[in-house]
Structure 1
Amino acid sequence: MPRKGIALVISAPSGAGKTTLVQRLMQEFPQFGYSVSCTTRQPRQGEVNGKDYIFLSREEFELRRAQGYFAEWAEVHGNLYGTPLAPVKNSLQNGQDVLFDIDVQGAAQMKLSLAEAVFVFILPPSMEELERRLRSRGLDDEGTIERRLTNARQEIRESRWYDALVVNDELDAAYDALRAVFVAAGLAPCRNPDLPDYLLNH
């Protein structure tokens, strides 16, 4: 019998290797659903409303936010972004797993709006290694690197309330740990509430 879906929320400081781990998880478990976010920014060339984003005016966004429409929201570079709550809950009820790659602030909001979600924080093996990774990418100037490191320290302090902490030192080991969290979440009684009664009656 189908279990309830898992809302898997993954956060990490920039440079911790989250994107690589998320991509690997989605390759192995392609059943993950995709949550279409709302935004007040203008569509870019080729973007489709309702597929890439749900494009809203700032007034519409703020009205929906006041009505509790979003599981989480944030303002980035002057534009508002938010995750609609109802479609996520419907997906989970229908057994669809949904993966969220969001920052600590968004995850903290989601902890309140979607308490059944599973929260995973990807950690670097050390701050020294995180700085080395950021510099080796060659993408950022010195000021940006320092800002990312400052943000990383604050984000790591917030990681204590997550359900699982995964240190990305060796990629395969880190992936095994992330995979284990996801698989274990699917075995939790709260996602299979009818299973004991079903088995007792068959």
Structure 2
Amino acid sequence: MNLPVFFAGLSMGLGLIVAIGAQNAFVLRQGLRNEHVFAVSIACALSDAVLITLGVTSFGKVASWLPWLEPVMRYGGAAFLLWYGTRSALSALRSGNALIVGASTAQTGLATTLLACLAITWLNPHVYLDTVVLLGTVSTQFAGAEAWFAGGAIVGSFLFFFALGYGATRLRPLFARPQAWRLLEAVIALVMWAIALKLLLG
């Protein structure tokens, strides 16, 4: 067992996935509506598991064929995370957004909901950058223990999506206030900058 690498993958996966985006907002909305929560959570988590596995198992091989790819992607990933963190920090300073859930109580069919969920997940380029590129890049630093890193990241994905979906009811009063989003954006900024620094320092 390699628990340090497992927890490195867990923290890295959570640090990337917690960022507010279309996918997380969709899961949160479904949780607040109490509509197809399990199906949406499992669809997002399994999608992440596939992409994380692809990144960890394939990125290292490609990098061995193209030695220049790993440092390029590492520094490129660090630059992206610095930019993303800065964007979150600016949002924390000036955003007035709050969670708004539609007042309609009409139920949406399971198939329609899953199609929307999968489209938001698989058609979002940031998902590939986070899972395949960034996690794949970081996994190359744990030679021989990539499976533990991937396992940690996958567990983090499952924990996050199910906690987000089923914990949404309790979050409803909290995220009705813009201050809550600002605080979360500030935390995201710090996480993104910390990960970027680790990438830069190797």
Q: Which TM-score band applies after superposition, normalised by the shorter structure?
A: under 0.3
**TM-score, normalised via structure 1 length:** 0.25
If asked which structure has higher relative contact order (CA below 8 Å, sep 6+), I would say 2
**TM-score, normalised via structure 2 length:** 0.25
Look at both structures and tell me which one has the larger radius of gyration over its CA atoms.
1
